[in-house]
Amino acid sequence: MGTTHPARRRTGLRVALLALSAVVALTACGGNAGQASSGPSTAATTGKALDAEIASLTKPLDSYPVPSGAISGVASLKGKTVYYVPVTAQAPALAVTAKALGAALKSVGIKLQTCDGKGTPTDISACINQATSARAGAVIADSIAYGLAGSAFDAAQAAGVPVVISNQLPDDSHPASKTLAYVPPGGSQMDEALAKWIIRDSDGKAQVLINESVDGPSPAAYVAAGRKVYAQDCPDCKVTINKISAANFSLIPSSTSAAVLKDSEIGYVEAQFGQYTQATQAGVQQTSRPGIKVVVGAAGLSDLKAVANGQIAAAAGQSDAYQGWIDADAALRMMGGQSVPDYTIPVRLFTKDTMSDVTLTEQADASGEWFGPTTFTDDFEKLWGLT
C-alpha cells in the first residue's frame, strides 16, 4: 500500500522502548555501578524514541489500507435500504461516518436510513427493531456494544437482517458469524497516541484525568491500552478515571470539575471522544485552575480547529470518512452472503505544531484527506464492480 500503517510503526518503536527499559534495569541491578557511561544516557535515548514515534503518528499515510477481495453480485442489491444506528447523533465523528456511508451506498443504488440511538438501550433497541420490521438489507450499529441491545440484535439476525457492529471490539459471547460482523475501532491506538504525547510533553511526570465513557465495554479497553503505555513508559505518571456517559451528558462538566479539584496535581484532562470535548472543557473551566491541558480522542473538525488555536493541546482521530466506506463494504458483503475481511482504521495524532498540512474545512473532513489520499473511494468502487 506504499507505507507502513501507524500501528505497525508503533510496534517496532515500542519494542525499542522495551529494550531500553531492560538496559535501565540491568544497569540498576548490576555490576557496573558508579562506572561512567561512554554512550548517551538512557533517558535521552528514550526521549528520542518517543519523539520519533510521535513524529510518525502525526503524519498521514501514503495510501489507505483498502481490502483486496472484490465483491460479486453488488448490482442485485440495488433498491435495498440499510439502517445506520449511531450510539448518539451528538458525536461529530459519527455524523461524518454517516455522510460517507450514505455516499458509498448511493454509488451502488442502496438507500440509507439513519436512526439516532440517543445513548440509551431503549432507543437503540427501538431503532434496530424498526430496521427489522422494515426488512432492511442490513443494520450498521456504530459504537454500540452488543449487550446494549442484545435482544434486538438477536431478533434482527433471526429475521434474516445481517448486523454490522462498527467501532466496537468483538464480543466473545456473540462472535462474528454469517449474520454478524464487527468493524474494528481505532480507539486503543488513539488512547495510546495521546498517552505518548502526554508523557513526552510532561517530561515523564504527568498527572492525568481521563473522562472514560461507560457506554459499553470497548471504551474501557481503549483506556486500558493507554494506561499500559503509561505503566511501561512513565512510572512517575498518575492516571485518574472519571466515568461518564452519553445518557448523562449534562453531568459531565460537574463530574469533571469535581474530579480535578480532588487532585491539585492534575495537569492533563482527556475527553475520550470528541462529543465530550465541550462538556470536558466546561468542567475544567469551572475549576478556575490555570495551566490544565485538555486532549481529545476521536477528534473531529471542531477539535482540530481548537488544536490549531491552542485551546486543545493535542487530539487523536481516526478517519471517519473511511470508516463509512468500510461499513458499506462490510454490509454489502454480508448482504451478498460473502465473508467480511479484516479492516484497519487509520489513526493520526494532531498537535499545534504539526497542523501545516491540515485543511480545516468540512469538505476536508468528509474526504478523509487528513489521514491519506482520498482515492480510497475509487478503490472501493473497483472492488464493487462499478468501474
Report CA-CA distances (Å) from 180 to 5, 9, 49, 170, 367. 27, 31, 40, 10, 28
Where residue 19 falls among pLDDT bands split at 50, 70, 90? very low
Looking at residue 32, what is its pLDDT? 37
Strands of the 268-271 sheet, one edge to the other: 238-244, 207-213, 268-271, 293-296, 314-318, 347-351
DSSP string, 19-87: HHHHHHHHHHHSTTTTPPPSS--HHHHHHHHHHHHHHHHTS--SS--------S-GGGGTT-EEEEEES
Same domain, 79 and 178: yes
Does some domain include residue 29? no
Does some domain include residue 124? yes
Check pLDDT > 70 for residue 3. Answer: no
Same domain, 109 and 156: yes
Task: For the chain, report the end-to-end CA distance as a whole number of angstroms.
Answer: 20
Same domain, 170 and 203: no
| Other CB atoms within 10 A of residue 187 CB | 28
Same domain, 170 and 190: no
Does some domain include residue 11? yes
- Indicate the helix (H) or strand (E) that contains 182: strand 180-183
Q: Is 347 helix (H, G, I), strand (E, B) or coil?
A: strand
CA angle 207, 29, 14 (to 5 degrees): 50
* Stated pTM of the model: 0.84
Does some domain include residue 207? yes
Compute the distance between CA of residue 225 and CA of residue 334 in angstroms, rounded to an integer.
30
Looking at residue 17, what is its pLDDT? 35
Same domain, 177 and 326: yes
Check pLDDT > 50 for residue 57. Answer: yes
Does some domain include residue 349? no
| Other CB atoms within 10 A of residue 234 CB | 22
Residue of 95, 88, 94 whose CA lies nearest to 127: 88
Share of the chain above pLDDT 90, in %: 83
Nine-digit cell string for 16 = 525499542
Nine-digit cell string for 321 = 470518512
Check pLDDT > 70 for residue 16. Answer: no
Residue of 108, 3, 175 whose CA lies nearest to 383: 108
Same domain, 168 and 87: yes
Looking at residue 247, what is its pLDDT? 86
Same domain, 174 and 198: no
State which residues form the domain around 12.
1-18+39-57
Does some domain include residue 66? no
Does some domain include residue 288? yes
pLDDT digits (tens, 9 = 90+) for 183-220: 988 999 999 999 999 999 999 999 999 999 998 899 99
79: CATH: 3.40.50.2300
Check pLDDT > 60 for residue 7. Answer: no
| Residue in the structure block whose three cell numbers are 473511511 | 322
DSSP 135: T
Where residue 46 falls among pLDDT bands split at 50, 70, 90? low
Looking at residue 43, what is its pLDDT? 53
Looking at residue 47, what is its pLDDT? 78
Does some domain include residue 354? no
Compute the distance between CA of residue 233 and CA of residue 243 in angstroms, rounded to an integer.
24
Same domain, 9 and 103: no
Looking at residue 92, what is its pLDDT? 86
Residue-averaged pLDDT of the chain: 89
Q: How many domains does the chain have?
A: 3
Looking at residue 29, what is its pLDDT? 38
Same domain, 268 and 202: yes
Same domain, 231 and 192: yes
Contact call for residues 157 and 165 (beta carbons, < 8 A): no
Which has more confidence, 305 or 48?
305
pLDDT digits (tens, 9 = 90+) for 307-318: 999 999 999 999
DSSP-derived pairing of the beta strands 347-351 and 207-213: unpaired
Check pLDDT > 50 for residue 41. Answer: no
Residue of 48, 32, 50 whose CA lies nearest to 40: 48
Q: Is 268 left (phi over 0), alpha (psi -120 to 50) or beta?
A: beta
Where residue 172 falls among pLDDT bands split at 50, 70, 90? very high
Looking at residue 292, what is its pLDDT? 98
Same domain, 108 and 8: no
pLDDT digits (tens, 9 = 90+) for 347-365: 999 999 999 999 999 999 9
Nine-digit cell string for 347 = 489513526
Least confident of 12-21, 75-84, 169-178, 194-203: 12-21
pLDDT digits (tens, 9 = 90+) for 222-271: 999 999 999 999 999 999 999 999 889 999 999 999 999 999 999 999 99
Same domain, 145 and 204: no
